[in-house]
Amino acid sequence: MTTLYRCITEDDTSQFCHRVSEALSKGWSLQGSPTMAHDPVKGVMRMAQAVTKQVTVDYHPDMKLGQQ
């Protein structure tokens, strides 16, 4: 088994929630709590959520993690 890791980031909009929900529906698990930080250049809050997933394929740097 291989554990994959990805960090989903997005402006603090419903799109962030949809991206995390989509990952959960594809078998990813939340890893820790979400974080929020202010982006002074864009003037918006940014969100981040780490997720992990157990897979049976070997890891390779060219993997498209969002498609796993």
Write down all domains in the chain, each with its CATH number in brackets.
2-56 (3.30.70)
Report the chain's mean pLDDT, rounded to a whole number.
95
Q: In terms of DSSP bridges, do strands 35-39 and 44-55 run parallel, antiparallel, or are they unpaired?
A: antiparallel
Q: What is the pLDDT of residue 13?
A: 96
> What is the arithmetic mean of pLDDT over 24-35?
97
Is 90 exceeded by the pLDDT of residue 53?
A: yes
pLDDT at position 67, please? 80
Please state the φ and ψ torsions of residue 51, each to the nearest 5 degrees: -135, 150
